[in-house]
Structure 1
């Protein structure tokens, strides 16, 4: 079986016994690559330092994972019988360049094979340097437990910051190494003054704002910053907006708190992109309803409190889908009522039931020469209609839309969610600048 990036399958499709298997990683590169395996808890944190398996620590405490290097082939042996999935639910295989002068863009190829204990390859996942840019590290694959079964996923997600960023991404701490030189007879050079890069400063500013006003969002903010850095978006200025489906089929997602979770996950992007750390917000059903701007001060429980709380959003009219009315309202607001020189990043949440395909296409085509990028996200629904055809929709000045779907807001790890949210935005920024749509 040949796996592609983003693909997930149940392990039992490859190995019936589903208890023991091997994972082989082989790089072709003009420099050394270090491979490691992180054991992760259900809370997306490193289980303990003992569960980072690599050349310097080749065996986990209970022998769940064992690492070997055989003729430039990195081999991980897994024994799932020894794992309590309630405490240790994911194993992420990562690669880092050992010399900071190089990047993953310079590799020739990498091949990851899921193998039977006897060594027979059962599934293969391949990447090459074209998959990356200046990343120093990459999450290759993961083995994870979900719905009473172990599964595997092909990831291919890069990080600019190397091994240190990976460890911090999983909640671990990196000790800064210090060297003690022997006494020299010659004079020591004057110490150089430590400097903080603009990127590190920006991350600190964002985290400080979140930690002060919404400390419960610190962990997901760290994950958003990694994805922003990877996509070279940390220093981008933009306006952020959110559009919420308020049709009747969304009722349970409002009640369960899933819609509030969407707001929580958009806030770190707004704090990074926009100096005032807020974003405009609309809900729609039969009509478009302009809600209050979401800020760090009113974010908590926004869905249950703004304008009397979601059960009282009567001005949205009958609870059926009418996407064109809110699309037109958003375009009018950012181009006529409250224009600026900044690009606009709109996250549009829907659970499907999309029917006005011709009107939606026309609005998005007509708006393709405006500085607005539309990121549509399908959550827990069906019949997304025209939203699934955005990548092939012709007649636009630039490709100004993207769409992905997930079962619910909890079904996609936050790091993966931010990667999906930001996947197309930097490409649009570049193309929009080339067409003089934004400066």
Structure 2
């Protein structure tokens, strides 16, 4: 059984060219059981493409029978080129695609299923790729949640995003190009659903509805394609776009297109990611926003934390509007990493250690070191109890400098960021020196750590090389592993970094207490990327240190 109808309005003309073709609507009975094909003829209203540059809009078409789904195909020819264009069209009762071919066909067409909001369809292939157009780091971020039967993550590790690009079981992977690869055969039994979601970055203005081209395409290895247009969003800053879920022994996809005004915080808490050790649910869209909350009182000048988890210290009020706006953007980038890693509100100490040796000359003269200090201040506002950086410069010796404050950072940089001379009463050449020896400064920091404290310390250690005393440094790091501090080492340049490159495999430690990454030039990293690298391992250490009773 086969039914073919030509459009009432005759030939189809491709606008902007001389090519003329025809519209063919077809269905093949062999693709479906007879019961699925209505026996009575009916009128189908066909929704054509809105792309005025490619298609004219046509009216209703009568066919001999009403199929579950039809395929529209046009074949266009001209003296200069020959191309084919196709658009899948749906009728009421859409359930799955049909491959259509006839004597004019030059090969089968890949079926495309277009899901409107709320619609669902079966996924035929276990290996699938989900692409979300309109996303980009720093504007709209992409997330994938592995959810249980209650639509909650089993643990924070079930959140796949830029800072955790693969699930523990390897079934969900976020590629560098922003696509989510799913291996449905490898999804653990306790996971009932994968939610594909997006959130507008804190620095990006406007709701998701203003993002151009936001849409989802699910491509299966066999060529089947499922598209889900993002529809119905208004003021939402975060949303679930597509759900891939189990149903009756199979996997299905549903176009959700629903979200929250509260942005990232609302998105992750809705799905059970731990934030402030609670699992709260945002009020429905349109409800009043929650009032800013404060940290436990510590006097009249206590820091405050807003509804998005961004901490503000009193000294920020002294900044100019321009400086405060720039600081706010960086604070939000820091808070975002901490939130997605489940480490918000873990305030303690932040220590900054900077290499002051001759090989760093270019870094100082170009202003790279000065900018490092400025970019570490937002980290202190979010993680240091008083919002200040404890600072050291080191060479063969070291100098403990006054704390870097939010409102005094520029003056501090002018006074203390130098390679030579006498500054703030410190003889940089005699006391600090110009060659590397990391042992004295590391021992000094370790000595300042209280074994019995409940306050965590983050050490940010910037260096351009050295660390040649491997045995002594390894001994210090093993000793430090029982103290409440995490050491994040940042290598600047392309020199060898010795033992730092092997910290991940260092044995004999109570917990893994150190991380390392290197970059040719810190200025080349965006704020969001820098903070991701700086803070990606610190939240994991916090949990491990508490479990091992290192943090009491």
TM-score (norm 2): 0.49
* Aligned equivalents of 1:391, 1:108: Cα separation in 2: 23
User: In 2, are the aligned partners of 1:104 and 1:129 still within 8 Å (CA)?
Assistant: no
Distance apart, 1:75 and its partner CA: 6.5
The structure with the greater share of residues assigned to helix is: 1
Q: Among residues 433, 437, 445, which one is paired with 1:318 in the alignment? A: 433
Verify: 1:266 aligned to 2:266, yes or no: no
User: In 2, are the aligned partners of 1:304 and 1:310 still within 8 Å (CA)?
Assistant: no
* Aligned equivalents of 1:155, 1:409: Cα separation in 2: 29
Residues 208, 154 of structure 1: CA spacing in aligned structure 2 closer, same or farther, 3 A cutoff?
A: farther
Distance apart, 1:412 and its partner CA: 2.2
Residues 155, 349 of structure 1: CA spacing in aligned structure 2 closer, same or farther, 3 A cutoff?
A: farther
User: In 1, are the aligned partners of 2:141 and 2:200 still within 8 Å (CA)?
Assistant: no
Distance apart, 1:297 and its partner CA: 2.4
- In terms of Rg, which structure is larger? 2
* Aligned equivalents of 1:210, 1:161: Cα separation in 2: 37
Distance apart, 1:383 and its partner CA: 1.4
Distance apart, 1:252 and its partner CA: 1.4
* Aligned equivalents of 2:174, 2:329: Cα separation in 1: 19
Partner of 1:130: 168
Residues 260, 331 of structure 1: CA spacing in aligned structure 2 closer, same or farther, 3 A cutoff?
A: same
Q: Among residues 509, 513, 528, which one is paired with 1:415 in the alignment? A: 528
User: In 2, are the aligned partners of 1:97 and 1:103 still within 8 Å (CA)?
Assistant: no
Distance apart, 1:74 and its partner CA: 5.8
* Aligned equivalents of 1:161, 1:303: Cα separation in 2: 44
Q: Which moved more, 1:241-250 or 1:208-217?
A: 208-217
Residues 201, 131 of structure 1: CA spacing in aligned structure 2 closer, same or farther, 3 A cutoff?
A: farther
Q: Among residues 173, 182, 200, which one is paired with 2:206 in the alignment? A: 173
TM-score (norm 1): 0.61
**Per-residue CA distance 1:247-283 (angstroms, 9 max, x = gap):** 1101211111111211122111111112311021111
* CA RMSD between the two structures: 4.5
Map 1:121-270; keep pairs closer than 5 Å.
129-130=167-168, 140-142=175-177, 163-166=198-201, 168-169=202-203, 171-174=204-207, 177=235, 194-196=289-291, 200-201=306-307, 203-206=309-312, 210=316, 213=319, 214-215=323-324, 216-270=326-380
Higher relative contact order (CA 8 A, sep 6+): 1
SS in 2 for 1:300: helix
* Aligned equivalents of 2:489, 2:196: Cα separation in 1: 29
Partner of 1:428: 541
User: In 2, are the aligned partners of 1:105 and 1:130 still within 8 Å (CA)?
Assistant: no
Residues 435, 195 of structure 1: CA spacing in aligned structure 2 closer, same or farther, 3 A cutoff?
A: same
**Per-residue CA distance 1:81-100 (angstroms, 9 max, x = gap):** xxxxxxxx989885457999
Task: Give the gaps of 5 or more residues in structure 2.
Answer: 1-49, 54-86, 89-111, 115-128, 182-194, 211-233, 237-285, 294-304, 423-427
User: In 1, are the aligned partners of 2:504 and 2:515 still within 8 Å (CA)?
Assistant: yes
Alignment: residue pair count: 318
Q: Among residues 481, 496, 499, which one is paired with 1:368 in the alignment? A: 481
Distance apart, 1:360 and its partner CA: 1.1
* Aligned equivalents of 1:231, 1:417: Cα separation in 2: 15
